[in-house]
Amino acid sequence: MRVTAVVVLVVLGIGGLVGGVSFLADPSGAGLGLDGTPLPGWLAGDYLLPGVALVSVFGVAPLVTAVAVRRRWRHAWTWTAALGLALLAWMAVQVAIIGWAAPPMQGAFTLIGAWLAWVGVSRARRQSASER
Residue 94 has pLDDT above 90, yes or no: no
**pLDDT at res. 78:** 97
Q: Write the burial class of residue 130 (CB in 10 Å: 0-12 exposed, 13-18 middle, 19+ buried).
A: exposed
Where are the chain's structural domains? 2-131
Residue 40 has pLDDT above 80, yes or no: no
pLDDT tier at 99 (50, 70, 90 boundaries)? Answer: confident
Note the pTM of the prediction, 2 decimals. 0.89
**DSSP sequence for 70-102:** HTT-TTHHHHHHHHHHHHHHHHHHHHHHH-SSS
**pLDDT at res. 43:** 75
pLDDT tier at 35 (50, 70, 90 boundaries)? Answer: confident
In Å, how far are 61, 68, 81, 98, 115 from 128, measured between CA atoms?
22, 16, 14, 39, 20
